[in-house]
Amino acid sequence: MSMIQEPEPARPWRPEDGPEPVVWTWPKGDRPALAVWSAGRWRYAPVMARQDWPDGTVRYQVEVDLFGDTSVRSRTYQWPQPGLRTAHRSCSAPATATDESRQGGQPRPAVR
């Protein structure tokens, strides 16, 4: 039995928390990723966004298959926790501006 505890999801920001966190994103094809300990295994979790809260805490919003059943869920975790590890970093610099190229978007129709 593992001694690693599954990470606790973080609650979302609320107006009573004060100023909104600064949110960073990466290009969809070059996102960093975390490993999330869930159901007795490390699960690969690409980062959708990093939130830097005014109180100094950092939270990562990730996409993760928590149970290995191919059902991907969105979760936000405060960093650091024992049940979280860096899987890999991005080669791209993060940005705070809204940029459609960083969000994936819809596929473009084929050019004929």
pLDDT tens profile 2-20: 699 999 999 999 999 999 9
Using a CB cutoff of 8 Å and minimum separation of 24, what contacts does 102-111 make?
102/25, 102/26, 102/27, 102/28, 103/25, 103/28, 104/28
What is the percentage of the chain residues whose pLDDT exceeds 70? 85
pLDDT tens profile 26-41: 998 999 999 999 999 9
Using a CB cutoff of 8 Å and minimum separation of 24, what contacts does 13-20 make?
13/51, 13/53, 17/53, 18/54, 18/55, 19/54
